[in-house]
Structure 1
Amino acid sequence: MSYQFPTYAKWDITVKEAKGSWITDINGKKYLDFVSGIAVCNLGHADEDVLASIQEQLKEYWHMCNLFHQPIQEDVAKLLVESSDGDAVFFCNSGAEANEAAIKLARKYTGKTKIVTFLQSFHGRTFATMSATGQEKIQQGFGPLLETFEYLPYNDLEALEKLGNDVGAIMLEVIQGEGGVVPASQEFLNKVNETCQRIGALLIIDEVQTGIGRTGKPFAYQHFGLSPDIVTSAKGLGNGIPVGAMIGKESLIGSFQAGSHGSTFGGNPVAMAAAKATLTKILTDDFLKEVDNKSKYLLTKLQETVGHHPIVKEIRGKGLLIGIDCGEHAGTIITELRENNLLVIGAGPNVIRIIPPLTVSYDELDLAIEKIDQSFAQLKQSVNTL
């Protein structure tokens, strides 16, 4: 019997310990972890530098209300500002909270309540972020949602033409993660940017899953020549310690003055210590270049090994966020891989999502590719014998 609400379809794995790219269960079975806490442990499990930073902060103090100046908050904010197009940071505890802050700020700054998002997007599970999410399965059963969101088809240029001056912001992921690892086209993002300028709307980029080096740049939008008004981040920011951040441009600062928004635990010093160590390691040219190299290697090898399988419709993604679209067989392969000691996760019903730690070794990539190839071969054999 569990004393928790059954809100998660849990796997039959009980974790004992985790280090680097590996998880060990209570029976001693080891799994190569290409879930990374769902794009959270970008430095792998139990990174020693993050641990040391947390321990040092714990010796000093581990909570203080936000009425006090805390230099470590400024340190982390500076790292985020210097690595983005923003000028100021609001700290919180999760991606949903970061997106909530972005929605509030956009409405307050523009004086408009309508925000445009996209079908198959995912922005969180609070009422505002659930309302922003373009997936009915996330929204079902909770009654009336916020009515000020409009959902457009993703990568559809014509739909953007119809938007008018009543829109306060356009909010999107440049790679839809939960929606199937679907990258936006450059043409579409250019049109989004042009539309925001035409109708006087803010551009909000949700980088909760794609941020903090996951795609080979600090933030994924930087591959596309964009300069968003607001960027949200969370998952990879603290390498497993809960922390979120909303980054905004200087023009927005006046709309978030004292009392306009807040969070008791936002900017918690222990979370800031984790974030500072994480950002210091990831946000270097050498580290990000290696992520890009590993990404190209993984994509090439996957195309060579499983790209030819009849059930594979497409292999797509950017950096170390890769999706294999294999239709109705995705769930079967994910289960098979788990039984074969490789952990991956779905992205919608048809896509296998591969999100290893950014510190993954080439040997570990080769091992994962081998296991994936074996699982596809076994599926093909079983289908052919039916």
Structure 2
Amino acid sequence: MNLRQLFLQHVAQTSAFPLMLEIERASGMYLYSPDGKSYLDLIAGIGVSSLGHCPPPVVEAAKAQMDRYLHTLVYGEFVLAPQVKLASLLSEQLPAPLDSVYFVNSGTEATEGAMKLAKRYTGRAEIVACKKAYHGSTQGAASLMWPKDFTQAFHPLLPGIRHIEYNCEWCLQHITAQTAAVVVETVQGEWGVRKPLPGYLKQLRRRCTEVGALLIFDEIQAGYGRTGTLFAFEQYDVVPDILLLAKGMGGGMPIGAFVASRDVMLALSEKPILGHITTFGGHPVSCAAALATLETLLKEHYIGEVKAKEALFLELLQHPAIVEVRSAGLWLAVELPSFGFVQRVIGHCLAQGLITDWFLFNDRSLRIAPPLIITAEQIQWACEVILDGIAIAEQESRQG
């Protein structure tokens, strides 16, 4: 059997219609198939490859660490330079009191750890989350998800979860003295890139402080320069109690983290001790890669160019069939007439060597979230391909 047949037979599937695109290698903005065809990656592996594929500083750092040591002992027992250096540099970029970093393997694990921390620190059980938000697929994180299309088959999930509308100031009254924490995406991703309304996050912060609930910002997708600043919350003059990070953090390696004050984080170390443990969280190679990623973002000009590149996308993506374009830096949702329309555009783009996607809770919008290294010429070409796909899909729709 060939590789594709073995893939279907032995690799667990998440849908009945995988893309089936075989990748042999990747570099910079491009993925390459075994026949040599190149694909411009317009979604960065769903927000992961912010510096492109196999960025040299990240690869070099990972290789150097592999020559020193790999796994040593479960997280939190040994003093490991990659972890310490990364936690220190990350803390330097964050406002007080966010100075204590707990490393995990993924975004959903960051969510799980933060939920436990909030419950332990406050002594409360209720968690408030926003509708149409995505925080991960493990059972705790999935409990935060609404609507229930992707979770109903696995119920019952965690009790004590209350859902409110994002950007609804009136809904903030549902945050009470019973609430341990409010988990919110600084910018809602899977609802199709929805930014907070002016003043909303400040009112949310104020309400959490009033009732003693912890405010958790999920920047698993929004962080690491995606919206034009290292962290999206910097643009709103609001500081959370806990910050969730992953995806772009590792430059292509698996890593995540939840960050809080040392005072809050200590709640996981007593009564009982080992309140949250992980075997592979903070893996030395992943931390070395993440350190190189953060150093590169701080040293290079990529984040500073995000807004100009966003403006170029907005300028070029003009077509009568486009319902709306929403953006937050290099993170755009191009809303089209229907899911079928979006699928036709995605198919056209793939055939032309351009990788795009849709959103979990907004299948009428085309996802654009390229590596931050994308050039103006690549943006122009990508937009031309998308617009050609829209024109073809529109014509096919008219023909029935």
Which band: TM-score by shorter chain? Answer: over 0.9
C-alpha deviations, 1:135-160, integer Å up to 9, x for none?
31221211201011111111111111
Q: Determine if contact 2:29/2:371 at 8 Å carries over to the other structure.
A: yes
CA RMSD across the alignment: 1.5
How many Å separate the matches in 2 of 1:51 and 1:229? Answer: 33
Q: Determine if contact 1:175/1:317 at 8 Å carries over to the other structure.
A: no
Q: Determine if contact 2:86/2:290 at 8 Å carries over to the other structure.
A: yes
Where 2:222 maps in the other structure, the secondary structure is coil
Where 2:216 maps in the other structure, the secondary structure is strand
Aligned length: 381
Q: Determine if contact 1:212/1:283 at 8 Å carries over to the other structure.
A: no
- Give 1:71 deviation, angstroms: 1.7
Partner of 2:278: 263
Partner of 1:224: 236
Change (3 A) 1:185 1:335: same
- Give 1:19 deviation, angstroms: 0.7
Q: Determine if contact 1:87/1:248 at 8 Å carries over to the other structure.
A: yes
How many Å separate the matches in 1 of 2:45 and 2:122? Answer: 36
Where 1:360 maps in the other structure, the secondary structure is coil
Paired amino acid for 1:3: H
Partner of 1:344: 356
Q: Determine if contact 2:103/2:282 at 8 Å carries over to the other structure.
A: yes
Deviates more, 1:183-192 or 1:87-96: 183-192
Task: Indicate which of 337, 341, 345 corresponds to 1:327.
Answer: 337
Paired amino acid for 1:25: S
How many Å separate the matches in 2 of 1:84 and 1:299? Answer: 30
Aligned pairs (5 A) from 1:82-161: 82-85=92-95, 86-161=98-173
- Give 1:285 deviation, angstroms: 7.3
Partner of 1:52: 60
Deviates more, 1:99-108 or 1:332-341: 332-341
Paired amino acid for 2:315: T
- Give 1:190 deviation, angstroms: 2.1
How many Å separate the matches in 2 of 1:204 and 1:101? Answer: 11
Does 2:383 correspond to 1:373?
Answer: no
Partner of 2:297: 282
How many Å separate the matches in 1 of 2:150 and 2:397? Answer: 32
Deviates more, 1:135-144 or 1:365-374: 135-144
Q: Determine if contact 1:298/1:365 at 8 Å carries over to the other structure.
A: yes
Structure 2 unaligned blocks of 5 or more: none
In the superposition, the TM-score normalised over structure 2's length comes to 0.92
Partner of 2:39: 31
- Give 1:284 deviation, angstroms: 4.1
Where 2:108 maps in the other structure, the secondary structure is helix
Structure 1 unaligned blocks of 5 or more: none
- Give 1:374 deviation, angstroms: 1.0
Does 2:183 correspond to 1:185?
Answer: no
How many Å separate the matches in 2 of 1:226 and 1:283? Answer: 22
Change (3 A) 1:383 1:7: closer
Where 1:15 maps in the other structure, the secondary structure is coil
Paired amino acid for 2:367: R
Task: Indicate which of 354, 362, 369 corresponds to 1:355.
Answer: 369
Q: Determine if contact 1:116/1:170 at 8 Å carries over to the other structure.
A: yes
Q: Determine if contact 1:89/1:245 at 8 Å carries over to the other structure.
A: yes
How many Å separate the matches in 2 of 1:24 and 1:116? Answer: 43
Partner of 2:324: 314
Where 1:147 maps in the other structure, the secondary structure is coil
Where 2:163 maps in the other structure, the secondary structure is strand
